[in-house]
């Protein structure tokens, strides 16, 4: 028996030795033929599937093969498949460098972060739109919000993103759309509010807008979708870009609303960018890439200050006093409040600097690390409501103008490692700080500490099979006079998703996530006394598929659950913003939802023009839906907003549902050598309804039960408040040689329903006349923008831009006017 074991072991060792002796190595680098950049994360495998690897960050690969002849496949979703035939000798190391080109059968849009890894747009199981840098630059956008306003199905109301009518108006607290920069969240930690001017608009590769429930991969704030801003990293050649735009606002069509005398309100914005790759040491082992950019904005806005003597208010109150409807004491108290009004209108002054760094070691294949950062200092003033529905349309209501000094920064250390077996490990972290120093004793600051460890595995042995998983953590420290205490909020989450492609046509995904939240409070006040800490947790799941029915025709379906933990501001804010009181609701419950969608995407290719046409049907249902509800939560004590008894408060308004249809079209490219076109268009119809319209969710100061019916200005059809049911957008740009001309169109149907309190006779003494304006302007809103540009030589471009060309008077959010017509000149220099 002992001899038998020895013979068996010897045979195994000799077989292993012979196997190694019979093997050879094939190695090389894969290069993109269009820009001579190396291609990372591309699959390299033998046609018989016996062995396969993935290229590293530098495009390198190495295959260990038995001696013999092979067909080697180089494959990715972006570049398609390229093959080479090789013969490997035993003990040989052979080098095969391959240059590949992008395939014409794809839509040429790669989504690096849509499902935490690269995927072509046609294989995504949710509706998705892409905004390219040409739209951002050519429209003369001064921040990311200006560019996003052209996205189909997306409305930004008072800086709040709303996708497919999934949200109403919430005073900037509790976004249901996650805002990401390079896959890391960038919403304020206490309120969940985006800061659009803080995002580095000068360094954007593309903006990806994912619609529908995305909580499985992106967490609580992604109940309705995700806006991911993907920044660019250096290419092979250094790049320097400077962009300057300056413009003025025209006078409104209603002459009485013009508050300035001589100088028109104006704005000037300048941004710059420089990127390059650097070899640091003589051994060329350390490669360093960096991007540095900045932005300066100076704007005197079109919303002016309240009148110095608040004449309209005084006249109205004199009438009420003479009629005996108010007392002399109420009249005197109100006049004293008016004397505290601000003298300056809306403005924005900011300066921002950002950088991205990227290090990699050639001797340690697949290892990359770096630090990204962004710092901004801004001073601005914003108005919550207008003065009145006449000469005060473009002026702030007394006490409704808030000046804010805001220093902000984020720093993002990261490290990632990609091995030759298809495993990718990454650790991404962010420290995000905002300090809002308001002029009305409402200072607040918050710090967010975020970290995420991700694991990604592409299995070459199992064709087209990918696992992505991760652990996330988020810790928020919020200190504020707004919340009657100091708060910390901690989130822990874990997720996993499986992607598998069958028969080269059917892509199936399935995944889940679990999140745990805890809020701790210290301090005094009603909110702090009521509750010392809150916890909640919820598992959610996701399933979807995409089927290639024809060469460029894709059918998709998806189902996803959502879970949103209320923000600190939604639960605990207890203050007055712009003269409007906001009350705390510490007993607020978390939202839970599900979303289902089906759609079809058709690719379009005409010469070098590539695009797609997409149609989708969707439905989302929410439980314990959170809305800011305006009511008389306190008795009236005076003639100002602050003393009227009116207040907003977050309430769980039971069940709601949003269903609808969306059609989009997107494309870009050249029809001939001299003529090209860029197009982005879409139409969205949504029906957002209350499913429990008569169920009470709160009581006012008199004990009256509040429900959807009695808090709505128009409850017909049970349409939710502050929503647009029809949105149409169209942006077309034509390019001929060095000349480019473009036009944009935005259409919003009439906002049917708002809070009924603004229609109440009890609020008329404030004299803002919201009901009167809505009754006089009860039609749709539409806006046209135009632009034209000319390339001066090879490096510079001059453009002229007109926004709101018809000078439409419109208000996307009641009680605050949107911008009148503006004229701008833009100069861009690229070296």
Q: Please state the φ and ψ torsions of residue 77, each to the nearest 5 degrees.
A: -70, -30
Asked which of 170-174, 253-257, 521-525, 545-549 is least confident by mean pLDDT, the reply is 521-525
Q: What are the angstrom distances between the C-alpha of 551 and each of 104, 201, 544, 603?
A: 11, 36, 20, 8
Residue 828 in contact with residue 242, Cβ under 8 Å? yes
Quick check: is 112 in a domain?
no
Identify the pLDDT of residue 274.
95
pLDDT at 178 over 80: yes
Identify the pLDDT of residue 16.
42
CA-closest candidate to residue 152, choices 70, 231, 210, 106: 210
CA-closest candidate to residue 311, choices 2, 699, 767: 767
Name the residue range of residue 247's domain.
121-306+341-377+386-830
Q: What are the angstrom distances between the C-alpha of 831 and each of 275, 304, 345, 800?
A: 11, 40, 39, 22
Alpha-carbon gap, residue 548 to 557, rounded angstroms: 12
* Domain end point (choices 70, 100, 130): 100
405 burial level (CB within 10 Å; 0-12, 13-18, 19+): middle
Residues 219, 254 within the same domain: yes
- Give the tens place of pLDDT for each residue, 201-239: 999 988 989 888 777 788 888 888 899 998 887 877 889
Identify the pLDDT of residue 760.
78
Alpha-carbon gap, residue 532 to 524, rounded angstroms: 11
Question: What's the per-residue H, E or C state across 161-178?
Answer: EEECCCCCCCCCCCCCEE
pLDDT at 193 over 80: yes
- Give the tens place of pLDDT for each residue, 738-777: 999 999 999 999 999 999 988 877 666 567 778 888 888 8
Rounded mean pLDDT of 26-44? Answer: 78
Question: What's the per-residue H, E or C state across 202-226?
Answer: CCCCEEEEEECCCHHHHCHHHCCEE
Q: What are the angstrom distances between the C-alpha of 132 and each of 2, 17, 125, 139, 679?
A: 72, 55, 21, 12, 11
Question: What's the per-residue H, E or C state across 49-71?
Answer: CCCEEECCCCCEEEEEEECEEEE
Residues 94, 183 within the same domain: no
Identify the pLDDT of residue 362.
72
Query: What kind and span of H or E run contains 268?
Result: strand 266-279
Query: How is residue 712 written in tokens?
Result: 């709505």
Helix, strand, coil shares, percent, the chain, to 5: 10, 50, 35
- Bigger pLDDT: 193 vs 320: 193
Q: How far is CA 121 from the centre of its chain?
A: 17
Backbone CA torsion sign across 694, 698, 700, 705: positive
Identify the pLDDT of residue 156.
87
Residue 80 in contact with residue 94, Cβ under 8 Å? no
Residues 86, 125 within the same domain: no
pLDDT at 113 over 70: no
pLDDT at 18 over 90: no
Residues 284, 373 within the same domain: yes
Alpha-carbon gap, residue 547 to 507, rounded angstroms: 6
Quick check: is 367 in a domain?
yes
pLDDT at 640 over 80: no
- Bigger pLDDT: 760 vs 118: 760
Residue 656 in contact with residue 621, Cβ under 8 Å? yes
* Torsion, Cα of 764, 768, 773, 775 (10° steps): -10
100 burial level (CB within 10 Å; 0-12, 13-18, 19+): buried
| β 646-652/580-583 pair status | parallel
**How far apart are the two ends of the chain, measured CA to CA in Å?**
79
Quick check: is 108 in a domain?
no
Percent of the chain scoring above 90 in pLDDT: 40
CA-closest candidate to residue 819, choices 151, 247, 400, 308: 247
Quick check: is 755 in a domain?
yes
Alpha-carbon gap, residue 109 to 133, rounded angstroms: 13
DSSP state of 657: E
Identify the pLDDT of residue 190.
87
Residues 44, 159 within the same domain: no
pLDDT at 20 over 50: no
Q: How confident is the model at residue 366 (pLDDT cuts 50, 70, 90)?
A: confident
Identify the pLDDT of residue 473.
95
CATH classification at residue 687: 2.40.170.20
Identify the pLDDT of residue 112.
40
Length of the chain: 831
Residues 579, 715 within the same domain: yes
Quick check: is 457 in a domain?
yes
Rounded mean pLDDT of 635-654? Answer: 80
Residues 87, 127 within the same domain: no
Quick check: is 317 in a domain?
no
Quick check: is 113 in a domain?
no
Rounded mean pLDDT of 273-286? Answer: 75
Bridge partner residues of 731 (DSSP): 680, 744
Identify the pLDDT of residue 34.
66
Alpha-carbon gap, residue 201 to 812, rounded angstroms: 24
Residue 168 in contact with residue 150, Cβ under 8 Å? no
* Domain end point (choices 100, 130, 163): 100
Residue 76 in contact with residue 39, Cβ under 8 Å? yes
Q: What are the angstrom distances between the C-alpha of 764 and each of 433, 776, 812, 814?
A: 41, 17, 22, 16
Q: How many domains does the structure of the chain reveal?
A: 2
Identify the pLDDT of residue 6.
45
Quick check: is 640 in a domain?
yes
Rounded mean pLDDT of 110-139? Answer: 71
Residues 227, 283 within the same domain: yes
Q: How far is CA 805 from the centre of its chain?
A: 27
Tell me how far apart the 2 most distant CA atoms of the chain are, in Å.
Answer: 119
Identify the pLDDT of residue 121.
67
Instruction: Supply angle C-alpha 730, 732, 734, rounded to 5.
Output: 175
Identify the pLDDT of residue 722.
92
Identify the pLDDT of residue 266.
93
Identify the pLDDT of residue 205.
85
Residues 295, 361 within the same domain: yes
- Give the tens place of pLDDT for each residue, 683-701: 999 999 999 999 999 998 8
Q: How confident is the model at residue 433 (pLDDT cuts 50, 70, 90)?
A: very high
Residues 148, 69 within the same domain: no
DSSP state of 187: B
Backbone CA torsion sign across 233, 235, 236, 239: negative
Alpha-carbon gap, residue 172 to 166, rounded angstroms: 15
Instruction: Supply angle C-alpha 144, 146, 152, rounded to 5.
Output: 95
Residue 629 in contact with residue 654, Cβ under 8 Å? no
Alpha-carbon gap, residue 573 to 21, rounded angstroms: 72
- pLDDT, the chain, mean: 84
Identify the pLDDT of residue 11.
44
Q: How confident is the model at residue 255 (pLDDT cuts 50, 70, 90)?
A: confident
Residue 346 in contact with residue 383, Cβ under 8 Å? yes
* Domain end point (choices 100, 133, 155): 100
Q: How confident is the model at residue 108 (pLDDT cuts 50, 70, 90)?
A: very low
- Give the tens place of pLDDT for each residue, 394-425: 988 877 788 889 999 999 999 998 876 778 89
Q: How confident is the model at residue 463 (pLDDT cuts 50, 70, 90)?
A: low
Exposure b/e, 706-720, CB count within 10 A at least 16 = b:
bbbeebbbebeebbb
CA-closest candidate to residue 753, choices 801, 726, 713, 791: 713
Backbone CA torsion sign across 278, 280, 282, 285: negative
Identify the pLDDT of residue 308.
60
- Bigger pLDDT: 654 vs 641: 654
Identify the pLDDT of residue 635.
82
Rounded mean pLDDT of 5-17? Answer: 43
Residue 566 in contact with residue 189, Cβ under 8 Å? no
Rounded mean pLDDT of 166-187? Answer: 86
Q: How confident is the model at residue 616 (pLDDT cuts 50, 70, 90)?
A: very high
Cβ neighbours of 296 (radius 10 Å): 15
Residue 457 in contact with residue 417, Cβ under 8 Å? no
Identify the pLDDT of residue 725.
96
In three-state secondary structure terms, 304 is: strand
pLDDT at 60 over 90: no
Query: How is residue 120 written in tokens?
Result: 């072509």
CATH classification at residue 12: 2.60.40.1120
- Give the tens place of pLDDT for each residue, 75-107: 765 576 788 889 888 888 888 999 887 654 444
Identify the pLDDT of residue 377.
96
| β 98-100/23-32 pair status | parallel
Residues 214, 360 within the same domain: yes
Q: What is the reported pTM?
A: 0.84
Query: What kind and span of H or E run contains 504?
Result: none
Residues 190, 86 within the same domain: no
- Bigger pLDDT: 615 vs 40: 615
Cβ neighbours of 607 (radius 10 Å): 12
């Amino acid at each position: 028996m002992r001899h038998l074991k020895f013979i068996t072991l010897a045979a195994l060792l000799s077989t292993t030795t012979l196997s190694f002796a019979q093997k050879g190595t094939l190695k090389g680098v894969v290069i993109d033929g269009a820009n001579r950049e190396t291609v990372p994360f591309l699959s390299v495998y033998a046609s018989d599937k016996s062995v396969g690897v993935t290229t590293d960050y530098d495009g390198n690969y190495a295959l260990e093969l038995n001696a013999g002849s092979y067909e080697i496949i180089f494959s990715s979703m972006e570049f398609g498949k390229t093959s080479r035939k090789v013969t490997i000798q035993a003990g040989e190391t052979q080098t095969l460098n391959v240059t590949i080109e992008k395939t014409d059968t794809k839509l040429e849009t790669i989504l690096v972060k849509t499902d935490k890894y690269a995927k072509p747009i046609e294989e995504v199981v949710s509706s998705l739109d892409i905004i390219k840098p040409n739209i951002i630059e050519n429209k003369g956008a001064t921040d990311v919000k200006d560019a996003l306003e052209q996205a189909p199905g997306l409305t930004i109301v008072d800086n709040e993103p709303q996708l497919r009518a999934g949200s109403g108006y919430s005073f900037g607290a509790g976004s249901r759309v996650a805002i990401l920069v390079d896959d890391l969240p960038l919403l304020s930690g206490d309120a969940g509010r985006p800061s659009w001017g803080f995002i580095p608009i000068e360094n954007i590769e593309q903006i990806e807008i994912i619609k529908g429930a995305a909580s499985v991969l992106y967490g609580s704030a992604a109940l309705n979708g995700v806006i991911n801003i993907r920044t660019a990293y250096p290419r092979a050649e250094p790049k320097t870009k400077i962009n300057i735009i300056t413009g003025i606002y025209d006078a409104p069509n209603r002459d009485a609303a013009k508050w300035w005398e001589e100088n028109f309100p104006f704005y000037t914005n300048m941004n710059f960018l420089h990127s390059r790759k650097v070899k640091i040491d003589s051994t060329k082992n350390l490669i360093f890439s960096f991007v540095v950019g900045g932005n300066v904005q100076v704007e005197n806005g079109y919303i002016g200050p309240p009148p110095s003597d608040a004449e309209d208010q005084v006249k109205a109150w004199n009438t009420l006093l003479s009629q005996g409807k108010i007392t002399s004491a109420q009249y005197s108290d109100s006049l004293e409040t008016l004397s505290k009004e601000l003298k300056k209108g809306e403005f924005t002054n900011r300066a921002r600097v950002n950088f991205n760094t990227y290090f990699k070691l050639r001797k340690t294949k697949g290892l990359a690390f770096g630090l990204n950062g962004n710092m901004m200092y801004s001073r601005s003033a914003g108005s919550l409501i207008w003065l009145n529905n006449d000469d005060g349309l473009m002026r702030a209501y007394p006490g409704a103008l808030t000046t804010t000094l805001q220093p902000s920064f984020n720093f993002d250390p990261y490290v990632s490692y990609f091995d030759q077996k298809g495993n990718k490990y990454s650790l991404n972290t962010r420290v995000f700080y905002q300090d809002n120093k308001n002029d009305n004793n409402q200072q607040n600051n918050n710090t967010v500490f975020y970290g995420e460890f991700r694991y990604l595995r592409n299995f070459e042995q199992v064709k087209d099979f990918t696992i992505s998983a991760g652990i996330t953590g988020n810790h928020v420290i919020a200190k504020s006079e707004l919340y009657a205490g100091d708060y910390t909020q901690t989130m822990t989450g874990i997720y996993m998703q499986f992607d598998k492609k069958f028969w080269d046509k059917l892509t199936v995904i399935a995944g889940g996530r679990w999140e745990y939240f805890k809020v701790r409070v210290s301090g005094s006040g009603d909110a702090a006394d009521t509750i010392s800490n809150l916890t909640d947790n919820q598992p959610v799941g996701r399933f979807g598929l995409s089927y290639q029915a024809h060469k460029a025709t894709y059918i998709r379906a998806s189902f996803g659950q959502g879970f949103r933990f209320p923000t600190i501001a939604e639960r605990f804010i207890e203050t007055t913003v712009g003269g409007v009181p906001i009350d705390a609701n510490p007993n607020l419950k978390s939202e839970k939802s599900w979303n289902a969608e089906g759609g079809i995407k058709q690719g379009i290719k005409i010469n070098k023009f590539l695009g797609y046409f997409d149609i989708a049907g969707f439905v989302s249902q929410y439980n314990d839906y959170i809305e800011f509800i305006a009511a008389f939560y306190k008795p009236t004590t005076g003639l100002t907003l602050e003393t009227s008894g009116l207040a907003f408060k977050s309430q769980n308004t039971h069940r709601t549902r949003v269903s609808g249809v969306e059609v989009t079209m997107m494309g870009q490219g050249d029809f001939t050598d001299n003529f090209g076109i860029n197009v982005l268009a879409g139409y969205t119809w949504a029906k957002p309804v209350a499913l429990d319209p008569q169920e009470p969710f709160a009581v006012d100061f008199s004990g009256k039960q509040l429900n959807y019916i009695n808090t709505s200005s128009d409850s017909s059809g049970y349409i939710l408040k502050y929503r647009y049911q029809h949105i149409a957008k169209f942006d077309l740009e034509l390019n001929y040689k060095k000349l480019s001309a473009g036009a944009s169109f935005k259409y919003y149907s009439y906002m049917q329903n708002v809070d009924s309190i603004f229609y109440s006779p009890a609020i008329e003494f404030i004299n803002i006349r919201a009901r009167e304006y809505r009754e006089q302007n009860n039609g749709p809103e539409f806006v046209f923008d135009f632009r034209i540009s000319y390339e001066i030589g090879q490096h510079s471009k001059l453009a002229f831009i007109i926004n709101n060309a018809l000078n439409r008077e419109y208000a996307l959010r009641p009680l605050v006017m949107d911008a009148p017509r503006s004229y701008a000149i833009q100069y861009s220099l690229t070296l």
